[in-house]
Amino acid sequence: MATEVALFVTCLVDQLAPEAGVAAVRLLEAAGCRVAFPEAQSCCGQPALNTGEPEAAAVLARHFVEVFEPYDAVVTPSGSCAAMVHHWYSRILDGEWAERAEAVAARTYELTSFLVDRLDAADRLAEAAPLDPAVTVTVHDACHGLRVLGLKSSARRLLEAAGATLVEMAEPEQCCGFGGTFAAKHGEISAPMADDKLAQAAATGADYLTACDSGCLLHLAGRRRRTGQGPEPVHVAELLGRALR
Amino acid sequence: MSVRPAEAAARLSLADRARRAIGDTDLQTALAKVTAALGAEGTAARTDPDMIEKRRRGAAIRREVLADLDGWLDRLQARLESIGVTVHRAAGPDEARRIVLDIARAEGVRLAVKSKSMATEEVHLNAALEADGVEVVETDLGEYIIQLAREMPSHIIAPAVHKTVPQVARLFTEAAGRELPSERGALCAFARERLRSKFLAADMGISGANFVTVDTGTIVLVTNEGNGRMCTSLPRVHVAVMPVEKVLPRFEDLGVLLPLLTRTATGQRLSTYVSMITGPRRPGEIDGPERLHVVFLDHNRRSLLGTPYEEMLCCVRCGACLNVCPVYRRIGGHAYDAVYSGPMGAVLTPLLSGGTEGRDLPDASSLCGACSEACPVGIPLADLLVRLRADLRTPGPAVPPAPPWPGHGPDGGAAPGSGPAPASGEPVGVAGDAPGRPSDSGPAARAARRLGFSAWARLWASPAGYRLSNAAVRRLGRLAPPAVVRRTPLVKGWGEGRDIPLPATRSFRQRLADRQKDGW
Amino acid sequence: MTDELARRFAEVLTAVGGRAHGPLPADEALDLLVQLCRERSNGTAVAVSTGDPVVQKLGAADKLAASGLDVLRPDDVFWRERLAEAGVGVTGAVTALAASGSVGVACGPGAPRATSLVPPAHICLVFRGTMVADLGEGLLRWAPIAADDTALPSNLVWVSGPSRSADLELVLTVGVHGPGSVDVIVVEEDGG
């Protein structure tokens, strides 16, 4: 019996990095899920919260709750969006809305964590999407997924099970400098932080720099196009998705 | 490229100060060194099982105090007075300065020696004393260096970390009136000799307090150099400026908080000297202060009680958050243009100043959360930064002022703000940023932003709104000349260093829809 | 148990740049004290906290004077001036902490704060039986505190090795304001 999951694709993936969303669907299906896509979904509200407009974020939070609470599981290819739902929704909503948000948060998962920890599908996916061991990958631990959700091993597990060779950079947990609106507001600090991350990734000699957050990856890719430094940033889902038979 | 005098800093925006710091190769080297060295210690302390238990207990003790801070302060005052200590209460910097000046005048003080105290920097004490004709000498080596350089501290534990040995040699040569070599041993020997003469001649010693225990009335000072001991043992008067959150209920709580502080700050099991001072000199003793004063400093700390910011009062000033902050590592302490820098400074500065300083600091963070993770007493620093972004939307303080202490006079009151800027002679930059964030051009801009976000949220809470607005942006993005696109507010900042991602030709939704017909 | 404490104490104190000696019986400890004072003072005075309980119990001041050293006692009329020229300060300690290599030096009548602070060398005598594992234990000897209990000295300082600073490019320099030389002599048992 297939597990039904609702995909929260995130506004960023939807508009700017759809390949990660496509890959997420394909991986979930390969892992035996039936993927529903509630059309009414939009944004988790982080940009508003981070800019200091929690009331606007709350509007989107309530919308998210309404859209997704009919489902048993909500899966998103973004650690930071999942963290927003888990950590902030109950803080920016009151009373009944906060309770409903907590209930939905309890069923909201980041993609790799869902595949590995909930579905235990790492090996199944490895068979469906084997990676060439000659290909080396270095993992960036995106901040919100890491510190709010405790994501550390699931992406690596998927990649290693599929046969990829992992090479760790010196400080995988150091922030890449995206920080959502920070990247636009303080480009003068954000860009050097990207340089530090890309330099560390380059030092590993890896073919790909990967993470569970498209925000980080777009920011790093954009910087890499200017400086030419570092391996190609690509979403974990996409890396595996490309290998899906 | 050396760091320019602090005068220039006050005129530059945070972004410009950041750019300057990032371009300063000496500073970048120093920052990499200090954050790596101290950061490693903090990380090691975090995983030590003994430390894990101390973190838990330390956090609990701090919160126990905050649950009844005014009560603990009253009890502390009673205990201190019973052992011969004179207690003063300063609602804000004006009052704190006045109190210390009055003591100095009453005691005929001509020379004061100071142990490192962030609280005294917070209230700009040195300038006030100097304006009154008192020579004030910083005795912590790092603080002495920045006093000579007329700069602010750049790291809470290592205030002169941005200075190279040759730079210090130049400073000391000028102070010495003779050529000093660019060599650590010689420079330390000079400092030791020069400061020793000050210690022995000083009329008054001024310190802060790392902790003060209520049951015994003990003031605890932590140093590695011995200057703290000198300042509090040799002069005939000792004034300790105690921020109100430094109180601990019991003497034995020190067994938890002290190792927690020193291990997290520098990796040391204990700093070289931990002084526990209980009252002034006693009959039969031949040294120690004859008169001991403690100044309780509020400065908007009590206004945080009962708000989400209350947790900030748990801070033990270990500097762990600075050492792990990816922004601090790049821009250093001076870019914050405040007494406290790094994540803790970004939270404290707008709060303690009642919103008159540091309003733009909470924005200079990627909210990565490394600070919250590193904090030994569990302060959710990243969350507090997010809250400040919202609470600083309107002019004025982020939280309402606290009620004055019962029976406390109106002078210096509980009004937010740090009073008039001190007399000239104080390093500039200490007076802080212009009020409001650079992006705030006034009530119209603020209202526009709020309305804009509100409208955007409502638009995107409707499926049709989301679809249509994205379609419109996609079309506009293609039609508008790149030059215009590049100047659009958020896009502009992004484009400063990165290539701008274009909306995908087909959004995920379109790909999903197309899949029905044609497969992926 | 106390063997392990003494061993640990010596290990940590050495690691932070101090020197640990003993545990030694009282007479040997005093002989060592004389020898160290001679070496460290190099012809200058030896300041002694004669009012310190450990110093008193061991009769250290008299032993030093009898060995021909110039002993500076706190009741000396020129104590403060002469202290600035003294090469060594000798104190006792109430307790020692094994975990951090620390000694707890209490002040009192005849035991000024400055003895362990102003001279460039500090030599501290401590009884092995008073040694404890860490600061938490060390502080317990003053607990519980009654409201009017003044059992705590007016100044109690925990000294862990020589004075140090890393303010100059983060490289360690020893002996900045406090003593650059610290010796702790652990004495086997209470003096006779």
Beta-bridge mates of residue C89: C47, C122
Would you call B23 an interface residue with chain A, using a CB distance cutoff of 8 Å?
Answer: no
Nearest to A15 among B393, B490, B504 (CB): B504
Residue of B nearest to A179 (CA): B366
Would you call B464 an interface residue with chain A, using a CB distance cutoff of 8 Å?
Answer: no
Q: A94: which 2 tokens?
A: 């009151």
Would you call B503 an interface residue with chain A, using a CB distance cutoff of 8 Å?
Answer: yes
Q: For residue range B332-372, list pLDDT tens digits in order.
A: 999 999 999 999 999 999 999 999 999 999 999 999 999 99
Query: What is the count of residue pairs from A and B with beta carbons less than 8 Å apart?
Result: 192
Residue C78: other Cβ atoms inside 10 A: 9
CA–CA min distance A54, chain B (Å): 7
Q: Helices A18-30 and A236-243: crossing angle, nearest 10°?
A: 60
Q: Residue A110 — left, alpha, or beta (φ > 0 → left; ψ -120 to 50 → alpha)? A: beta
The predicted pLDDT at position B155 comes to 86
CB distance B136 to B118 below 8 Å: no
Q: B469: which 2 tokens?
A: 């607005």
Residue A245: other Cβ atoms inside 10 A: 7
Q: Residue range B6-26: average pLDDT? A: 81
Q: Which residues of C touch B232 (CB under 8 A)?
A: 155
CB burial of A146-178 (b: ≥16 within 10 Å; e: otherwise) equals: bbbbebeebbbbbbbbbebbebebeebbbbbbb
Residue B415 pLDDT greater than 50, yes or no: no
The predicted pLDDT at position C150 comes to 58
Would you call C157 an interface residue with chain B, using a CB distance cutoff of 8 Å?
Answer: yes
CB distance B187 to C137 below 8 Å: no
User: Would you give the end-to-end CA distance of chain C in angstroms?
Assistant: 24
Residue of B nearest to C149 (CA): B216
Nearest to A178 among B22, B366, B458 (CB): B366
Q: Which residues of B touch A217 (CB under 8 A)?
A: none
The predicted pLDDT at position B136 comes to 96
CA–CA min distance B494, chain A (Å): 4
CB distance A52 to A185 below 8 Å: no
Q: Which residues of A touch B15 (CB under 8 A)?
A: 186, 188
Q: Is the peptide bond before B326 cis (omega within 30 degrees of 0)?
A: no
What integer best gives the mean pLDDT of chain B? 87
Nearest to A40 among B366, B463, B508 (CB): B463
Q: For residue range C106-162, list pLDDT tens digits in order.
A: 999 999 999 999 999 999 999 999 999 999 999 987 765 544 555 799 999 999 999
pLDDT digit string (tens) for chain A, length 245 residues: 578 999 999 999 999 999 999 999 999 999 999 999 999 999 999 999 999 999 999 999 999 999 999 999 999 999 999 999 999 999 999 999 999 999 999 999 999 999 999 999 999 999 999 999 998 999 999 999 999 999 999 999 999 999 999 999 999 999 999 998 899 889 999 999 999 999 999 999 999 999 999 999 999 999 999 999 999 999 999 999 999 87
Please give the CATH architecture assigned to the domain spanning C2-142+149-187: 3-Layer(aba) Sandwich (3.40)
Q: What domains does chain A contain, in order, with CATH numbers? A: 3-114 (3.40.50), 128-243 (1.20.1050.140)
Would you call B390 an interface residue with chain A, using a CB distance cutoff of 8 Å?
Answer: yes
The helix/strand/coil state of A214 is: helix
For chains A and B, tell me whether 3 or more CB atom pairs sit within 8 A of each other. yes
Nearest to A184 among B461, B490, B499 (CB): B490
Cβ distance of C113 and B140 shorter than 8 Å:
no
The predicted pLDDT at position C11 comes to 96
Query: Which one of C165, C174, C182 makes the best mutation probe of the B interface by having the most chain B beta carbons within 10 Å?
Result: C165
Domain ranges of chain C: 2-142+149-187
Nearest to B365 among A37, A173, A179 (CB): A179
Q: Residue range B37-41: average pLDDT? A: 83
The predicted pLDDT at position B465 comes to 92
Q: For residue range B77-117, list pLDDT tens digits in order.
A: 999 999 999 999 999 999 999 999 999 999 999 999 999 89
Cβ distance of B498 and A173 shorter than 8 Å:
no
B134 vs B128: CA distance, rounded Å: 9
Q: For residue range B250-270, list pLDDT tens digits in order.
A: 999 999 999 999 988 888 889
Q: For residue range C54-113, list pLDDT tens digits in order.
A: 999 999 999 999 999 999 999 999 999 999 999 999 999 999 999 999 999 999 999 999
The predicted pLDDT at position B164 comes to 87
Q: Which residues of C touch B159 (CB under 8 A)?
A: 167
Q: Which residues of B touch C139 (CB under 8 A)?
A: 251-252, 254-255
Residue of B nearest to A16 (CA): B503
Query: Which one of B183, B272, B276 makes the best mutation probe of the C interface by having the most chain C beta carbons within 10 Å?
Result: B272
Q: For residue range B440-457, list pLDDT tens digits in order.
A: 558 888 889 899 999 999
CA–CA min distance C3, chain B (Å): 21
**CA–centroid distance for B441 within its chain:** 27
Q: For residue range C22-58, list pLDDT tens digits in order.
A: 899 999 999 999 999 999 998 999 999 999 999 999 9
Nearest to B501 among A16, A26, A190 (CB): A16
Cβ distance of B224 and C137 shorter than 8 Å:
no
The helix/strand/coil state of B433 is: coil
Give the residue among C170, C105, C97 at the shortest CA–CA distance from B269: C97
Cβ distance of B508 and A59 shorter than 8 Å:
no
Q: Residue C186 — left, alpha, or beta (φ > 0 → left; ψ -120 to 50 → alpha)? A: beta
**% of chain B with per-residue pLDDT over 90:** 64
The dihedrals phi and psi of A66, each to the nearest 5 degrees, come to -60, -45
Cβ distance of C158 and B274 shorter than 8 Å:
yes
Least confident of B65-69, B195-199, B494-498, C5-9: B494-498
Report pTM.
Answer: 0.92
Residue B35 pLDDT greater than 90, yes or no: no
Give the residue among A17, A67, A12 at the shortest CA–CA distance from A37: A67
The predicted pLDDT at position C172 comes to 80
A141 vs B362: CA distance, rounded Å: 23
Cβ distance of B285 and C157 shorter than 8 Å:
no
Query: Which one of B211, B229, B256, B266 makes the best mutation probe of the C interface by having the most chain C beta carbons within 10 Å?
Result: B229
Would you call C166 an interface residue with chain B, using a CB distance cutoff of 8 Å?
Answer: yes
Cβ distance of B506 and A18 shorter than 8 Å:
yes
The predicted pLDDT at position B34 comes to 85
B438 vs B12: CA distance, rounded Å: 11
**% of chain C with per-residue pLDDT over 90:** 81
The predicted pLDDT at position C191 comes to 43
Instruction: For residue A134, give every residue at least 6 positions away whose Cβ sits within 8 Å of its Cβ, in sequence order, or none.
Output: A165
Confidence of residue B434 (pLDDT cuts 50, 70, 90): very low
Q: Which residues of C touch B266 (CB under 8 A)?
A: 166
CA–CA min distance C34, chain B (Å): 26
Residue of A nearest to B438 (CA): A185
Confidence of residue B286 (pLDDT cuts 50, 70, 90): very high
How would you classify the pairing of strands B111-114 and C155-159?
unpaired
Vertex B41: Cα angle to B40 and B44 (nearest 5): 85
R_g over Cα of chain C: 16
Query: Which one of B368, B391, B499 makes the best mutation probe of the A interface by having the most chain A beta carbons within 10 Å?
Result: B368
Would you call A186 an interface residue with chain B, using a CB distance cutoff of 8 Å?
Answer: yes
Q: Residue range B372-400: average pLDDT? A: 95
CB distance B264 to B324 below 8 Å: no
Q: A97: which 2 tokens?
A: 């809305």
Cβ distance of B453 and A48 shorter than 8 Å:
yes
The predicted pLDDT at position B133 comes to 96
Q: For residue range B143-183, list pLDDT tens digits in order.
A: 899 899 998 888 888 888 888 889 999 999 999 999 999 99
Share of chain A residues as helix, strand and coil, in percent rounded to the nearest 5: 55, 10, 30
Would you call C79 an interface residue with chain B, using a CB distance cutoff of 8 Å?
Answer: yes
The dihedrals phi and psi of C24, each to the nearest 5 degrees, come to -125, 150
- pLDDT higher at B45 or A182: A182
Residue B3 pLDDT greater than 50, yes or no: no
